[in-house]
């Protein structure tokens, strides 16, 4: 084990300390990451938390030994292969030397690694790298890096942390799909998803709605809570979360399928055994308990419609303009000619009554709505046209009810899949540049569901200034939410029945300062 002394960090010049650099190398499978920070050793006279300026992160996937340089004590950790890798974060009390605690923060699936070396820079996270082997640095280069970091001006800190959210086979479940994600008014992170009990097929199938919550932005999650228990061949699928910021109510939309009924064989009319039923549950205590369901079939299904379903992911509440407070939830429906249309259902009275907006267009499928800084609603849609291999975008000037002509955005290749679009800074005033920042995620491939990518736009989606591949392998649906501290959470399907969660910041997407 090698430790090097380094100059004190500028924000801790007055502290009695020594800074050490620990060297590691991570050898991984398809998913690999490195986060590394200096480890300050603080004198016993210090009476303030050292980690206001510095954080120490360790990683190992097999066996590692952590030696505390100030005490000489060693601690060993072990993680078996084919499990997620642990990160070991150094913390300290207001007096004394650092101590170690273990947190499941980040890692790789089905990977093996060896403890060797990795540069650790003072107070700056090393950018995540998609690589199998992190190269070794010479001691001379390390000394230069550490010395230069001590005098470098502050810069954005790229961060990303990933965990496995749901693994196929857990509790005998065949696989998991259609995730939803939202932050309750008290900051609780809520995730809904579909548990496909016996096969990977959509409705009609034995599918349940499950939900989990987190109080630390996705680092730890509650045990799954099964909210629906359909029997006899019935199922419930395609979760979507929508939070009313005015009342605090959380809506969890899903679709109930009677035995043998799915989207493509639903009949016209509202006979309860012959069509899908859009429904929702609701929570008035930030996701701790759930009430309902309320069935919206007779409320929203129109004459001439055959199949219909609420799209998975999340809805949105309008925050500005004449329709402030309006709740929007994307919907898909099918006509007798077989063509499908996208629209929104909406409520102007906090969910007491629901109405159906106009069709955004034919051959359009699952979508997400986002309110832009100027008050317009932008709908980002999946195309069902076999000749279109990109996203489709449409704008509404009346709060998401009617839309102008849809256009194909060739900047966003898409293999006909559900995606995610959100405002990066939804509370920013229209006069601030950050009010125009959007995030978008999808498998960025025109033909295959792979290469999950997060993109950043600085101009309300006119152009996309930065992008970052989150998962280069198979991937399908994804959903994002802005976390209370300004970071972002995302859940995505990996194509094998597993769901993964990641937390990242804008600096990770932009590889530095976002939007210039």
CA dist 20 and 6 (Å) reads 6
Q: Is 309 exposed, middle or buried (0-12, 13-18, 19+ CB in 10 A)?
A: buried
- What beta strand segments (E) does 244-351 contain? 250-257, 277-283, 291-295, 305-310, 313-314, 316-317, 327-335, 340-347
Residue with token string 């590889």: 511
Strand, coil or helix: 199:
coil
- Cβ neighbours for 94, distance < 8 A, ≥ 6 positions apart: 46, 47, 48, 49
Phi-psi region of 512 (alpha: psi -120 to 50; beta: other; left: phi over 0): left
Instruction: Say if residues 409 and 393 touch (Cβ distance below 8 Å).
Output: yes
Taking the alpha carbons at both ends of the chain, their separation in whole angstroms is 40
Dihedral in degrees, nearest 10, Cα atoms 368, 356, 194, 385 = -60
CA dist 504 and 301 (Å) reads 39
The H-or-E segment that residue 144 falls in is helix 139-151
Q: Which listed residue (128, 206, 366, 471) is catalytic?
A: 366
Verify whether residue 501 is a known catalytic residue.
no
Nearest Cα neighbor of 489 from 301, 214, 266, 194 is: 214
Q: What is the C-alpha R_g of the chain?
A: 24
Instruction: Say if residues 322 and 399 touch (Cβ distance below 8 Å).
Output: yes
Q: Which listed residue (161, 202, 238, 384) is catalytic?
A: 202
CA dist 304 and 359 (Å) reads 13
Asked whether the bond before 293 is cis by omega within 30 degrees of 0, the reply is: yes
Q: Which listed residue (193, 256, 477, 501) is catalytic?
A: 477
Verify whether residue 366 is a known catalytic residue.
yes
CA dist 325 and 65 (Å) reads 54
User: C-alpha angle with apex 292: 287 to 295, nearest 5 degrees?
Assistant: 125
Verify whether residue 116 is a known catalytic residue.
no
Residue with token string 């300026």: 53
- What beta strand segments (E) does 376-437 contain? 377-383, 390-396, 407-413, 420-423
Instruction: Say if residues 118 and 24 touch (Cβ distance below 8 Å).
Output: yes
Distances (CA, A) of 115 to 58, 134, 136, 158, 163: 10, 11, 12, 23, 21
Residue with token string 């107070």: 123
Residue numbers annotated as active site:
202, 366, 477
């Amino acid at each position: 084990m090698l430790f090097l002394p380094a100059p004190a960090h500028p924000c801790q010049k007055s502290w009695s300390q020594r800074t050490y650099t620990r060297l590691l190398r991570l050898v991984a499978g398809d998913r690999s990451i490195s986060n590394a920070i200096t480890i300050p050793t603080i004198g016993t006279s210090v009476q303030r938390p050292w980690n206001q300026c510095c954080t120490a992160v360790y990683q190992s996937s097999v066996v590692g030994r952590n030696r505390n340089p100030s005490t000489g004590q060693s601690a060993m950790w072990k993680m078996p292969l084919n499990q997620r890798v642990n990160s070991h974060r150094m913390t300290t009390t207001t007096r004394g030397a650092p101590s170690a605690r273990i947190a499941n923060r980040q890692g790789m699936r089905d990977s093996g690694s060896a403890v060797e070396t990795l540069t650790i820079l003072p107070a700056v996270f090393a950018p995540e790298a998609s690589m199998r082997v992190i190269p070794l640095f010479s001691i001379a280069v390390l000394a230069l890096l550490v010395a230069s970091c001590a005098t470098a001006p502050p810069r954005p800190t790229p961060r990303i942390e990933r965990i496995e959210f749901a693994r196929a086979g857990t509790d005998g479940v065949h696989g998991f799909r259609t995730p939803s994600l939202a932050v309750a008014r008290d900051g609780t992170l809520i995730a809904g998803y579909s548990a496909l009990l016996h096969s990977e097929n959509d409705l009609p199938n034995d599918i349940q709605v499950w939900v989990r919550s987190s109080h630390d932005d996705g680092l730890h999650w509650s045990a799954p809570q099964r909210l629906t228990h359909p029997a006899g061949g019935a199922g419930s699928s395609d979760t979507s979360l929508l939070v009313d910021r005015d009342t605090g109510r959380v809506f969890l939309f899903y679709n109930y399928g009677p035995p043998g009924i799915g989207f493509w064989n639903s009949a016209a009319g509202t006979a309860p055994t012959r069509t899908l039923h859009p429904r929702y549950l609701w929570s008035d205590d930030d996701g701790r308990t759930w009430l309902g369901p309320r069935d919206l079939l007779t409320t929203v299904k129109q004459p001439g419609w055959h199949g219909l379903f609420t799209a998975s992911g999340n809805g949105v509440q309008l925050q500005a303009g004449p329709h402030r407070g309006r709740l929007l939830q994307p919907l898909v429906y099918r006509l007798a000619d077989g063509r499908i249309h996208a629209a929104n259902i909406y409520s102007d009275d906090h969910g007491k009554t629901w109405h159906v907006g106009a069709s955004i267009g034919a051959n359009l499928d699952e979508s997400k709505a986002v309110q832009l800084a100027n008050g317009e609603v932008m709908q980002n849609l999946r195309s069902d046209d076999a000749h279109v291999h990109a996203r489709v975008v449409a704008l509404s000037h009346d709060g998401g009810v009617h839309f102008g002509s849809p256009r194909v955005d060739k900047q966003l290749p898409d293999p006909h899949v559900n995606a995610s679009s959100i405002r990066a800074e939804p509370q920013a005033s229209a006069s601030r540049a950050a009010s125009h920042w959007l995030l978008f995620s999808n498998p960025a491939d025109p033909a295959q569901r792979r290469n999950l990518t997060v993109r950043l736009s600085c101009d309300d989606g006119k152009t996309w200034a930065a992008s970052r591949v989150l998962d280069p392998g198979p991937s399908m649906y994804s959903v994002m939410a802005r976390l209370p501290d300004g970071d972002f959470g995302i859940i995505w399907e990996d194509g094998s029945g597993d769901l993964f969660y990641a937390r990242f910041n804008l600096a990770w997407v932009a590889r530095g300062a976002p939007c210039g």
